[in-house]
Amino acid sequence: MPILTRRLTLAAGAWLATPALAQAWPARPVRIVVPFPPGGLVDMLARALAPRLSERFGQPFVVENRAGAGGNIGADAVAKSAPDGHTLLASSLGPVAVNQYIYRAMPFDTQTAFAPIVLLISTPKVLCVGPARPWRDVTAVVAAAKAAPGTLTGGSAGPGTSLHLALELFKQTTGTDIQHIPYRGAAQAITDLVGGQIDLIIDNLPNILGQITGRQVRALAAATPQRLPQLPQVPTMAEAGIDFVFGTAFGLVAPAGTDAAIVQRLSAAVTEALRDPAIGGRLAQQGAILGGGTPADFAALIAREKATLEPVIRAAGIRAE
């Protein structure tokens, strides 16, 4: 066979093999690794999506929690899995995008380890203070922080988490010095906010909406472009003259090298499922913004997140082992 003809034949065979591989997928159960403990936002959504994806693709989709190291343990397991579409990661963008700027030694390269599939949800953030604190708006908080630098305390779900990054960006934006108090999860931070052990928190709305509506904490400002429909009485940061918008994104990724046709099929199926109120309805009621879209959309969001948060992390000197 002439060389040119043989090359064309091989190229055609490779082109035909790609859709064939995608059509054969999934050939066995698919793992969705959540790199955080059970009960969080992304865990709840992954468990809501799994039955729908099982029905759609004819194989079980099984959620597996592998928590630790800011999500790096579970993410590493996925990064090192075969890129055959049978192991996926449902996560915040921490291990996918920004942990590389925080952890001294990363077990994988976030730049090359994953193939973005689809945005799952994003969550707006709200600045809240304890009920016994005197401040009635965010301007008063800023004034108090500037009057006594380093005395106000702000809680987070741990070093390098989105709550910590939100606090650091708020400090940089307002020129304030607020002491960071890290916790092992947002739940304990909220408990101490209610109890008066810390002054404030900038938390994901679904995490703290119940305490706001129950008047256990006081919401002062939303870090969003417009007022939140769940809290129409709470002004935005911009209304107080503070240029501060911050949210948290959660998405689905696969190991790098996963067949693009499989990635597209998953993206389309998840986008369709998210449109069903039975899947994300509860989270939407709590303030989560349901995602969807194309892999390219999600890849662009990841790139923007990196560009926004890297300078915040470096300026704050956030480091973890």
Query: In b/e form, how buried is each residue of 54-74, taking b as 16+ CB within 10 angstroms?
Result: bebbeeebebebbeebbbbeb
Residue 30 pairs in a beta bridge with 61
Q: Is the dihedral of CA 207, 194, 147, 314 positive or negative?
A: negative
Candidate CATH numbers 3.30.830.10, 1.10.3720.10, 3.40.190.150, 1.20.140.90; the one for domain 28-122+249-316: 3.40.190.150
Class of domain 124-240: alpha beta
> According to DSSP H, which parts of 39-136 are helical?
41-57, 72-79
- Each domain of the chain, given as residue ranges in start order, spans 28-122+249-316, 124-240
pLDDT at residue number 299: 97
Alpha carbon distances (Å) from 212 to 163, 165, 171, 231, 241: 17, 22, 23, 9, 23
Q: What pLDDT is recorded for position 154?
A: 98
Dist. CA 207–CA 309, nearest whole Å = 22
**75 in Cβ contact with 35 (< 8 Å):** yes
With a cut of 50, which residues of the chain have pLDDT below it? 1-17
> Which tokens hold the place of 16?
């035909």
pLDDT at 19: 58
Q: What is the pLDDT of residue 18?
A: 52
Quote the pLDDT of residue 296: 97
Instruction: Give residue 46's pLDDT.
Output: 95
Would 28-122+249-316 and 124-240 be classified into the same CATH topology? yes
**CA–CA gap between residue 154 and residue 146 (Å, rounded):** 14
Report the pLDDT value the prediction gives residue 20, as an integer from 0 to 100.
57
Report the pLDDT value the prediction gives residue 159, as an integer from 0 to 100: 85
Is the dihedral angle over the CA atoms 40, 42, 43, 45 positive or is it negative? Answer: positive
Quote the pLDDT of residue 22: 63
Whether this model's pTM surpasses 0.75? yes
